Amino acid sequence: MRPTTAEERDARTALNKGAPTLEFGRRVPYDAYVHASTLHTLQRTLSSDPGEMSFLMVSQIMELYFGLIRHELEQAREHVRAGEVWPALAPLKRAALHLEGLNAAWQTLRWMTPADFNKFRDLLGEGSGFQSAMYRQVEFLLGLRTKSLMRPFRGTAAYEELEVALHRPSLWDEVIALLARQGHAIKPGLLDRDVADEHETDQSVADAWVRVYRDTGPENHLRLLGEALTEVADRFGDWRYLHLKAVQRTMGAKSGTGGSNGLAFLQRSMSRPVFPELWTSRTEM
């Protein structure tokens, strides 16, 4: 794709008398950028049931959102690591908005009853959204870390990427380190723990957030950071709840295709809070 300037665009508009350009070379520029012609070849259903296309395409849309949310959370983490609180707010805001888009995707599957799902469910074999490597990347960034959930990816490039992600501090780890650098009394053991293990709620972190929120001055960027993180955690909680409700609606408490006990597994997952001290500290604020 050849870049253009504002002057070139204005000249083209004048030449076209306000109509869009209709003649290009071998490839339409939009497709060269978006690769739409490739994207629309990736929906390969397993049955003749027309509803399966909805299930497959929504699953692919969610995968794209997972990748986008991961990108934003990584940007936020690097800013926090560098002590750049204000620049971290923009990717966190975008991540929360992307989560809203992700959550809206569940609405387009509300038509699916158990009878509808059963028309093609057996053809999925052991395939399950539980096996999404990109979703695991998002969980790792948020601080939700269960090493055993990497096992399905052994022998793949995804496993190597997850291994790297597991041993890098999560966004929440970096936030806690930032609180310590800014003078809050964080328990020393939290700053040199093995980040491959899931963070457990700690009172020193909750106390730090109480102090942060008590400062209502306009220069308190940490308070803004806390609210941006809360929005991300809240929207991620919505994702978990909507996932559970979609499963309950389409298959009840049946066993999942991936070997889990389905609804019960999702209910246990929901009990692990994202950024836990942002929630526990609210009792004392």
Work out the mean pLDDT of the chain and round it to a whole number.
92
Residue 143 within any structural domain of the chain: yes
User: Which of 167, 143, 187 lies closest to 279, judged by CA?
Assistant: 143
The H or E element containing residue 163 is: helix 157-166
Ranked by mean pLDDT, which of 96-100, 142-146, 243-247 comes out on top? 96-100
Query: Residue 173: which domain range?
Result: 55-283
* Domains of the chain: total: 1
- Cβ atoms of 244 and 227 closer than 8 Å: no
Residue 203 within any structural domain of the chain: yes
Residue 257 is assigned to a ligand binding site: yes
The Cα–Cα gap between 214 and 220 comes to 10
Ranked by mean pLDDT, which of 6-10, 27-31, 88-92 comes out on top? 88-92
- Cβ atoms of 175 and 225 closer than 8 Å: yes
Residue 35 is assigned to a ligand binding site: no
The Cα–Cα gap between 96 and 51 comes to 30
The per-residue pLDDT for 262 is: 66
Residue 26 within any structural domain of the chain: no
Estimate to the nearest angstrom the gap between the alpha carbon of 17 and the chain centroid. 44
String of DSSP letters for 91-156: HHHHHHHHHHHHHHHGGGGTT--HHHHHTTGGGGTT--GGG-HHHHHHHHHHT---GGGGGGGTTS
Residue 23 within any structural domain of the chain: no
- Cβ atoms of 221 and 87 closer than 8 Å: no
The per-residue pLDDT for 256 is: 62
Residue 27 within any structural domain of the chain: no
Tell me what the mean pLDDT of segment 241-262 comes to. Answer: 78
- Cβ atoms of 54 and 119 closer than 8 Å: no
Estimate to the nearest angstrom the gap between the alpha carbon of 184 and the chain centroid. 29
pTM for the full predicted model = 0.93
Estimate to the nearest angstrom the gap between the alpha carbon of 83 and the chain centroid. 23
Take residue 12 and report the two structure tokens written for it: 């083209």
String of DSSP letters for 188-247: HHHHSS-TTSPP---HHHHHHHHHHHH---TT-HHHHHHHHHHHHHHHHHHHHHHHHHHH
Residue 261 within any structural domain of the chain: yes
Residue 173 within any structural domain of the chain: yes
Distances (CA, A) of 54 to 61, 152, 282: 10, 26, 40
The per-residue pLDDT for 258 is: 61
Residue 182 within any structural domain of the chain: yes
The residue with greater pLDDT, 12 or 84, is 84
Take residue 83 and report the two structure tokens written for it: 């002590």
Residue 121 is assigned to a ligand binding site: yes
Sorted by sequence, the CB contacts under 8 Å of residue 276 that are 6+ apart come out as 199, 201
The residue with greater pLDDT, 95 or 27, is 95
Residue 65, domain CATH? 1.20.58.480
Interior CA angle at 67 toward 65 and 58, to 5°?
Answer: 35
Is 90 exceeded by the pLDDT of residue 1?
no
